[in-house]
Structure 1
């Protein structure tokens, strides 16, 4: 075993709603504990999945939180931040790992700088992109920046830095947020990004940051009998959060165009479609129009049965930083239609799917091309094989080993070794 490590995980999104970030962080917790290391979780107070609670070697600090209006998320409100810094300083972790750029992630950076602890930062969520979809989020994020500037009294980010950011970034509404993001990226000894898309975005904000691409690992989900009845036509599947930034309106518009040529085609959306009233109204109307299935939200370990019954996975979002569901779908052998050309780890156009622009006509055309290819002899089987090959490069075991290696090197302050080894690792993986 490697030298025993104590890693402090700072995460903003730990319930009540489940999401890819929480799955990735909890998987990482389990990997560390299984390898005999110790974990501290610092997160907002919230209900939700907490599978490692009570395990030996794991402790947690929960911070006072507030609910984000109309979203399944609670965020830390800034209370007890300074006390938490002192608590963590007394515990002396080997590495602080800040997951994201929210209040708790900011606290992780502040703690690392105050205590001179090696800092690893992972960019899971592009808050800048999400702000375009949530009018209520941008004021909240700006408020967080202002609050933090008052709290830290210039240790990390202050009013002068906010003013400087407003001169450097063209969008005045986001300038202070982007300035803080850049400060966090530059403060980290190592930054990991779950996809080349996210790596490029990080370097766009902070070109001097020490960023490496480490996709989250995903294993095949267990298949099962079809959980719902389906028709004889091609079945397109979407699995994931049903939220404004996920592009569900685009998907429904595209599907309506597909049905003009293939009336027997079906679209199934697996997720909590009732959370957002406007989206729910649109999906109910589509369901009444015919051939749209809305089975609801299911636990992750039951999703394999939905993947197994589908003919193609559709992904209309352009805001995701990796999208674990793309990997799940590929491991199930599905071809993929995606609106995001930058999320291409598990998709090769024409080989196992199609890239389509974020417009209904373009997305519908890609879906129609998949329908045609599914009728070609042998294409379904070859696409399934290629999907599994691509997604199989990043298993839970392989990525756990890679992250443990990065933790070890970060704790030893061997930051250049992290980057050099990972550049070789990534190139070899994609060439296989």
Structure 2
């Protein structure tokens, strides 16, 4: 098949969405398909990637770190036509997604859409918490109309499936979790970097218990509640360190919070790290913590589990099938339960090792191979139906 993936977010941006697209592209290519990415231009890009076409863009008005495509030129339309695409897969409801749907109609080919983002949890970026109800209603209408204008929809979790059904989406929805390259995270050692040297460079002692967070430093990630539990954690584990890998608009606020709580010497901000090096940072963790309830799936949780780190995550529908409390990880409902789960996991190696072992038995469902095979099945079904009609 010749497959066109249309997305507003792509390399060098680092996010779960970009990871999903990158994994899907590489796995489909390994399975013998031709995959082409259509995305936005980016001033940070150096050089070109084969099979990646970038359209003129500008920073998103309400979130400067994101970009949206501008008008589409006849040249871009000719480029898409020249590739003789069999199917288009949109990954955004905005500019490139709209362009993808337009081109699918022009070419008379099916269009599949993956609904990645729970926009109802992000409207504060636009409305600043004013007119919230109006913003949520608008999100519902736009999401429903976009999905119903596609031939098939993919939801990463049951949580997203239920949301889209509630929005009134009538098209076929397949629940397909994004997979990860398990071998990248679960391989034993990484000879390219010495873990002890990396710890030393981050001012982490060899025997210091490490609480790990990986992700954007944004309001919806709720990193602040992890930091707020550090005084409690340090009472039991005075040498514990909270390692925060990632960057974002909230970094200075979080750094100030650590100072206010007098835990700044125990909270380490490592900044944003290159995707091809992120697996090394997972190896430093003694427990991985996620406090976000806005995830469609939570790829960092799966990456942590694959890396052999026990996970403590807030109760949320997106992890119902992934984490079973006190079997392959911990689930908490409150800030204090977060602190208790962290202390217990870091203090009891027997429990910690049990979580890791049982988590490993869960992971096949989240392999990149299974992910690509299920998406490929959606494509094949649509193309077969097109032939029959």
- Where on the TM-score scale, by shorter chain, does this alignment land: which range? 0.7 to 0.9
- Counterpart-to-counterpart distance in 1, 2:133 and 2:104: 30
Pair 1:206–1:110, CA change in 2 (3 A)? farther
Identify which of 28, 31, 34 aligns with 2:30. Answer: 34
Pair 1:47–1:194, CA change in 2 (3 A)? farther
Aligned partner of 1:353 in structure 2 is 329
- Counterpart-to-counterpart distance in 2, 1:308 and 1:324: 16
Aligned partner of 1:161 in structure 2 is none
Pair 1:198–1:49, CA change in 2 (3 A)? farther
Which string of whole-angstrom CA distances, capped at 9 and with x for unpartnered residues, describes residues 353-400 of structure 1?
Answer: 22223xxxx133233134335544632221111111212322122222
- Do structure 1's residue 188 and structure 2's residue 153 form an aligned pair? no
- Do structure 1's residue 307 and structure 2's residue 282 form an aligned pair? yes
Aligned partner of 1:424 in structure 2 is none
- Counterpart-to-counterpart distance in 2, 1:341 and 1:299: 28
Tell me the SS of whatever aligns to 1:108. helix
- Counterpart-to-counterpart distance in 1, 2:116 and 2:47: 20
- Do structure 1's residue 378 and structure 2's residue 350 form an aligned pair? yes
Runs of at least 5 residues in structure 1 that lack an aligned partner in the other structure: 143-169, 416-432
Judge which range, 227-236 or 332-341, deviates more.
227-236
Identify which of 259, 272, 275 aligns with 2:247. Answer: 272
Aligned partner of 1:237 in structure 2 is 212
- The number of equivalent residue pairs is 372
Which string of whole-angstrom CA distances, capped at 9 and with x for unpartnered residues, describes residues 228-282 of structure 1?
Answer: 1434453211012222221111221233333344433321111125775434443
Aligned partner of 1:135 in structure 2 is 126
Asked if the contact 1:339–1:363 (Cα under 8 Å) also holds between the matched residues in 2, the reply is no
Pair 1:81–1:10, CA change in 2 (3 A)? farther
Asked if the contact 2:309–2:356 (Cα under 8 Å) also holds between the matched residues in 1, the reply is yes
What is the CA distance between 1:214 and its match in structure 2? 0.9
What is the CA distance between 1:304 and its match in structure 2? 2.7
Aligned partner of 2:110 in structure 1 is 118
Aligned partner of 2:42 in structure 1 is 46
Which string of whole-angstrom CA distances, capped at 9 and with x for unpartnered residues, describes residues 319-374 of structure 1?
Answer: 111121111100112221112421214311111222223xxxx1332331343355
* TM-score, structure 2 as length reference: 0.84
- Counterpart-to-counterpart distance in 2, 1:88 and 1:128: 32
Identify which of 304, 307, 329 aligns with 1:329. Answer: 304
What is the CA distance between 1:178 and its match in structure 2? 2.3
Aligned partner of 1:212 in structure 2 is 174
The structure showing larger relative contact order (alpha-carbon pairs under 8 Å, at least 6 residues apart) is 2
Which string of whole-angstrom CA distances, capped at 9 and with x for unpartnered residues, describes residues 200-239 of structure 1?
Answer: 2222212423111111111142544242143445321101
Pair 1:43–1:411, CA change in 2 (3 A)? same
- Counterpart-to-counterpart distance in 2, 1:126 and 1:82: 33
Asked if the contact 2:231–2:263 (Cα under 8 Å) also holds between the matched residues in 1, the reply is no
Runs of at least 5 residues in structure 2 that lack an aligned partner in the other structure: none
Aligned partner of 1:75 in structure 2 is 68
- Do structure 1's residue 254 and structure 2's residue 225 form an aligned pair? no
